[in-house]
């Protein structure tokens, strides 16, 4: 079964809810419907924007998907500042990012935390986008493949094979995030293929064939074509370029196989 490419825009801590509405409208207006048959396009705004984005998508029956950038490990309770799985599910979220390198770094999230959050996302009927990626130091030591496959297997620990089908994996080398230094298409393919092989080893080839593995790190409309042309790269997790409506539309169109008309 062919995997449908996914382009997911991780807005990080950018855009208030009014700016979110303007950006979603711009992308929805500019990207012709026929492209959505070839590529799934999702936006991942900050929590404060999600209700506005949901209302727009549902009200105008837009084909865009939406999701969140993080989730609490708990369903409810005394966890000041956290946002729970049931809350995100109620907002119609399709995807939730877990284990982004910025959360691993700034919020000390370990593989165990990533694993608990991944389970929460699945428990509430959403799809986790599980991020892995190596630092420059690890890459220079040549242990990037082992580092990333370990992060993935630890992050998915205890899941049933059937649950793994729902997971999206994102390979984001830390040295390529927000730096303008995109990994070469061959670098991306090497790690994405290794991640799929690790999934095949643990959960079977049929499941590994279904799971989408994205690349993230300085993806733009000018490099998405080559990245997505790799056999194990099924799309992209896009940061900076997802904040510009024209650029994100162009990038999504390129991922669907052709430039905008």
Ligand X SMILES: O=C(CO)COP(=O)(O)O
125 binds ligand X (CB under 6 A): no
**Annotation marks residue 100 as catalytic:** yes
**Contact between 118 and 97 (Cβ < 8 Å):** no
Choose the stretch contacting ligand X; rule: CB under 6 A; options: 76-84, 118-126, 159-167, 216-224: 216-224
187 binds ligand X (CB under 6 A): no
Nearer to ligand X, 167 or 203 (CB): 167
**Annotation marks residue 144 as catalytic:** no
Choose the stretch contacting ligand X; rule: CB under 6 A; options: 28-36, 52-60, 76-84, 212-220: 212-220
Residue 63, C-beta contacts closer than 8 angstroms, at least 6 positions apart: 28, 33, 36, 41
Number of residues lying near ligand X (CB under 6 A): 14
177 binds ligand X (CB under 6 A): yes
Nearer to ligand X, 10 or 249 (CB): 10
In sequence order, what DSSP letters do the residues of 32-70 get, joined into one string?
A: -GGGGGT-EEEEE--HHHHHHHHHHHHHTT-S-EEEES-
β-pairing, 65-68 with 40-44? parallel
In sequence order, what DSSP letters do the residues of 160-202 get, joined into one string?
A: -HHHHTT-EEEE--GGGSSSS-PPPHHHHHHHHHHHHHHHHHH
Question: Interface residues for ligand X in 100-119 (CB under 6 A)?
Answer: 100
Cα 73 from Cα 80, distance rounded (Å): 13
Nearer to ligand X, 216 or 245 (CB): 216
Choose the stretch contacting ligand X; rule: CB under 6 A; options: 23-31, 104-112, 172-180, 196-204: 172-180
221 binds ligand X (CB under 6 A): no
Question: Which is catalytic among the residues 66, 100, 124, 144?
Answer: 100
252 binds ligand X (CB under 6 A): no
Cα–Cα distance list, 16 to 22, 46, 48, 226, 241 (Å): 10, 8, 7, 33, 17
Nearer to ligand X, 5 or 240 (CB): 240
Residues annotated in a binding site for substrate? 10-12, 178, 218, 239-240
The residues annotated as belonging to the active site are 100, 172
């Amino acid at each position: 079964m062919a995997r449908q490419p996914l382009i997911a825009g991780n807005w990080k801590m950018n855009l208030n809810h009014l700016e979110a509405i303007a950006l979603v409208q711009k992308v929805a207006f500019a990207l012709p419907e026929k492209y959505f048959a070839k590529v799934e396009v999702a936006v991942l705004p900050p929590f404060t924007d999600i209700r506005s984005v949901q209302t727009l998508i549902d009200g105008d029956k837009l084909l865009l998907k939406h999701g969140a950038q993080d989730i609490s490990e708990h369903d409810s309770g005394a966890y000041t500042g956290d946002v729970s799985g049931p809350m995100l599910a109620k907002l119609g979220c399709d995807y939730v990012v877990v284990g982004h390198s910025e959360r691993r770094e700034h919020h000390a999230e370990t593989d165990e935390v990533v694993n608990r959050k991944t389970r929460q996302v699945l428990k509430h009927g959403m799809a986790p986008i599980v991020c892995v990626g190596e630092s420059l130091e690890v890459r220079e030591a040549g242990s990037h493949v082992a580092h990333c496959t370990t992060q993935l297997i630890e992050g998915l620990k205890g899941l049933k094979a059937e649950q793994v089908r729902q997971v999206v994996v994102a390979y984001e080398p830390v040295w390529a995030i927000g730096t303008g230094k995109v990994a070469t298409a061959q670098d991306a393919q090497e790690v994405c293929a290794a991640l799929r092989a690790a999934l095949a080893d643990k959960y079977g080839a049929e499941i590994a064939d279904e799971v989408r593995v994205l690349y993230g790190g300085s993806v733009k409309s000018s490099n998405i074509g080559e990245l997505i042309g790799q056999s194990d790269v099924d799309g992209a997790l896009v940061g900076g370029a997802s904040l510009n409506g024209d650029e994100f539309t162009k990038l999504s169109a390129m991922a669907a196989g052709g430039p905008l008309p």
